[in-house]
Amino acid sequence: MDIERIHTPVMLERTLALLEPALGRDGAVAVDATLGMGGHTAAMLERFPSLTVIGLDRDTDALSIARERLARFGDRARFVHTVYDGIAEAVAAEGFAEVDAVLFDLGVSSLQLDRAERGFAYSKDAPLDMRMDGTAGRTAADIIATYSEVELRHIFQDFGEEKLSGRYAKAIVQARDEGPITRSAELVSIITAATPVAVQRQGHPAKRVFQALRIEVNEELSVLQRAMPAALETLNLGGRIVVLAYQSLEDRIVKRVLQSATTSSAPAGLPMELPEHAPRFKLLVRGAELASEAEQAENPRAKPVRLRAAERVRRDS
């Protein structure tokens, strides 16, 4: 496997620039909460010689590749098999009370997309799995087999923002009455048959359904809702966080958490803001930054990315 070819970290230089004031501290500690194959972590460890990075990932295949790729950094690279809402426990288990930086590179990884047998891609026939941690939990096939029509419609609508959610849910329930749906090609065929021809011309009809199933299988949004506040609490004074989100549902959660953390808690009408009401964090970028046009042209996976970042400026009272 040519890791460098299949895995190009998105917005790498911008991410490093935003984290540099924290990563450049003597003996700094960072958390790569979505380690993947270690592209961002490798770049951080190369650029900051006294840095230690704790890499988290629920995907055992990714951890195995990252361990091999980052072996040259010795114990400056640490590895924890966990979902990223376990960030506080992972940091404590590695012997640290706080960290200087946290990076989230959300969404499905290159490894998961490019290995057809993982079942993430609607363009490749494979078992309907979609688990980021292949060692535990229910699969997409389990959800297709057991969820009611109403439940399927809700996840397609809520997690895929799919306008034809009701039509697709009904088609799936009818099809499974004739036999189990266990492969991605079977599901794509059902969805395509239920899609008006005019809609098919607007893009692949299975895209949003597969996104919704992946989110449901891995509980991605609920995990992120827990992980973001936990990550902020692990940062020491001057610590920085960068989050790369690839779809609007994730980005809304990130935006909401960072807005809350960077807003004064002073009651309305006070003549002056007391220190204990001052924001604990400040935003480092205005809104969400996009990848440059040049990077989007070179790396198509950079097209949907939204980057947000913040710095801790006050400890809790």
38 annotated ligand binder: yes
26 annotated ligand binder: no
105 annotated ligand binder: yes
DSSP 8-state secondary structure symbol assigned to residue 267: P
Q: Which run of H or of E encompasses 103?
A: strand 99-105
Tokens of 12: 């790498």
Tokens of 108: 């499905």
> Which of these, 19, 145, 35, lies nearest to 84 by C-alpha position?
35
Q: Which run of H or of E encompasses 100?
A: strand 99-105
57 annotated ligand binder: yes
CB within 8 Å of 175: residues ≥ 6 apart: 181, 186, 190
Strand-pair category, 306-312 with 281-283: antiparallel
24 annotated ligand binder: no
Tokens of 214: 């992946």
81 annotated ligand binder: no
The whole-angstrom separation of Cα 211 and Cα 304 is: 14
- Is the separation of the CB atoms in 87 and 99 below 8 Å? no
Instruction: Spell out the SS3 assignment of 43-94.
Output: HHHHHCCCCEEEEEECCHHHHHHHHHHCHHHHHHEEEEECCHHHHHHHHHHC
CB atoms within 10 A of CB 225: 15
Which segments are annotated as binding site? Answer: 38-40, 57, 84, 105, 112
Which segments are annotated as binding site for S-adenosyl-L-methionine? Answer: 38-40, 57, 84, 105, 112
